[in-house]
Structure 1
Amino acid sequence: MGPDPLSLLLEERDWLLADGATGTNLYNMGLAPGEAPDLWNEKHPEKVLALHRAMVAAGSDLILTNSFGANACRLRIAGAADRVAAINLAAARLARQAADEAGRKVLVAGSMGPTGEIMAPMGRLTEAEAVRIFTDQAEALKEGGADLLWVETISAVEELRAASAAAKAVDLPWSGMMSFEPGGWTMMGVTPPQLAALVERLPRRPVAYGANCGTGPTELLVAVANFAAAGSERPMIAKPNAGVPRYQDGGLIYDATPEVMAEFAVLARDLGVRIVGGCCGTTPAHLAAMRQALESRPRGKRPTADMISQKMAAVAAQATAG
């Protein structure tokens, strides 16, 4: 297999800007509370396409398909377990359309989130079954035009291993992210150094790996600093939530301003992160500020955990005062 599209783009660029939130942005576009965002690929494709286009216009080099929860386990809750192939195919085609219209190189990453089930031996879902569930999703994303798989918000080692096996089965490159709690480990007890070691032992190693979601940009940067300290050579990803959510005017607003996310992006780059983006609450306005900061601010020295906390607190306080 030759070089994959993500590795080729990383050879040309010091950093890449991924996109922002899918679910929370669709919620603010009319998605009903409790409704599966993935179903909008068929119900409201024009809105999903509009969101992808807005992410590209804000400067994203890589956009995620609207398929985070489009696996059989999660779609069963929405009464659509038999629609896995159709929903993922539609998701990939919509993102592919937006990427192809960009007039520059934009990659399509097939988003695959956790199954929502507890893995054996603590739960009922076996690793073999998880591989099958992820493979069904991955096949449709590949058919729809995804350049790579984007496995995110994972908390269990077994689930990451199953997603890696699915990437191998469909012969697609992939990237993997876990979501870390404020204490520095995932819900299932995995630490950043453990993840850094784990990715080298997977059935198919990821092109890039890192952290997404979590409690906000500062905590996620500290987790990523621990990847760097583990000595991994693999490109790192940082895609945090835009702070903490609150309801305002009938919509969800997150408390990290575009200025805060721009500061995060620069600190992440200076830490050695190659792919920077945002998760829940990150809008095209946040991304545009991040892109502008990455392009205009010179690279600084590698920040320590203390420097990260101080700088992020200062810019947050400034944003609040403003």
Structure 2
Amino acid sequence: MQDIVKLLKNKVLVCDGAMGTMLQKYGLSAGECPEYWNLTQAEKLVAVHKEYLEAGADIIITNTFGASSLKLSKFNLEGKLREINISGAANAKAAVKKSGRDVYVAGDIGPTGSLLEPLGFLKIEEAYEAFKEQALALQEGGVDLIIIETMIAVEETVAAVRAVKENTKLPVIACMTFDVQANKDIRSVMGVDIETMVTELTNAGADILGSNCGNGVEQMVEVIKALRSKTGKPLIAEPNAGLPKLKDGVISYDGTPEMLASFTEALLSAGANIIGGCCGTAPEHIKQIKNQIERRNKK
């Protein structure tokens, strides 16, 4: 595969969408460990990846968001960390092979789920080791790059980036989740601003920066604008499909594929080099985004 950073100098790429939403469609129950499905329901994972590939995704993300030892321990599955991450990579690669397309497989790493000292009890060294262990397993599984997602604390994000860069040869996408305040101030839940994120993650060695999740695609446009004002690195935008709605105990999102795709031009103009989707997005959202980008390229 071509170096993704070099490719992004001349081409916009499309990433896939939500994994959790799709696994629920395929039968994942509330409280079940999604990542364990890499071992027990591999054919369903291949099917999910296949749907996103058929929608036109150029990057698909492994089902390993919560596959660190710290997260898996909540299900007493930390002993299967290596198997779960390697299988996550294998399932994605199997779908790519069947598609016959050249597509990047990104190994997904999410937050530990614990607060770092002094706000919590997790030592930064423990977080680093957890990220290192997961990154090595994903590299062993054959992923093309690592994507770090849904981070809110810059110290934890730095630990994740360093763990990957210092122990593997993989490119790293580092995403944090931001809120745009009424006064246009942009910060993560932990108070991290855009300039701090860019400075710290660039120094840690991140190859691509970006944001995922958040409060809808309109705010994502503002986040990407702010990121672009601080860095020349490639940027990724993975907005949610609108805003969450709770009905009968089930969370859904009100953003249609057409609505989300209508912001494609705004995201690109803001400085995005990769566009995908987060919570509530599905293959149809990705297909519509892909169509918008292809129409733009033909102009």
- TM-score bucket of the superposed structures, by smaller chain: over 0.9
1:9 pairs with 7, 10, 25, which one? 7
Gaps in structure 2 of 5+ consecutive residues:
none
**Structure 2 CA distance for aligned equivalents of residues 47 and 290 of structure 1:** 24
1:270·1:299 contact (CA, 8 Å) conserved in 2?
no
**Structure 2 CA distance for aligned equivalents of residues 46 and 233 of structure 1:** 40
Look up the match of 2:258: 259
Look up the match of 1:197: 199
SS at match of 1:125: coil
**Structure 1 CA distance for aligned equivalents of residues 6 and 97 of structure 2:** 17
Look up the match of 2:295: 296
Look up the match of 2:107: 110
1:144-223 alignment runs, 5 A limit: 144-168=141-165, 169-183=167-181, 184-202=186-204, 205-223=205-223
Look up the match of 1:273: 272
Higher mean alpha-carbon deviation, 180-189 vs 272-281, is at 180-189
Q: Does 1:73 align with 2:70?
A: yes
> Aligned letter for 1:196?
V
Gaps in structure 1 of 5+ consecutive residues:
301-322
Q: Does 1:287 align with 2:289?
A: no
Q: Shift of residue 100 of structure 1?
A: 2.4
**Structure 1 CA distance for aligned equivalents of residues 8 and 180 of structure 2:** 30
Structure 1 residue ranges, 4+ long, deviating more than 6 angstroms after superposition: 248-251
Q: TM-score, normalised by structure 2?
A: 0.93
Look up the match of 1:120: 117
SS at match of 2:160: helix
Aligned residues: 294
- RMSD in angstroms over aligned alpha carbons? 2.0
Identity of counterpart residues, as a percentage? 38
2:68·2:131 contact (CA, 8 Å) conserved in 1?
yes
**Structure 1 CA distance for aligned equivalents of residues 297 and 109 of structure 2:** 34
Q: Shift of residue 188 of structure 1?
A: 1.1
Q: Does 1:229 align with 2:243?
A: no
Q: Shift of residue 251 of structure 1?
A: 6.4
**Structure 1 CA distance for aligned equivalents of residues 283 and 228 of structure 2:** 28
SS at match of 1:51: helix
SS at match of 1:297: helix
> Aligned letter for 1:186?
S
Q: Shift of residue 16 of structure 1?
A: 0.2
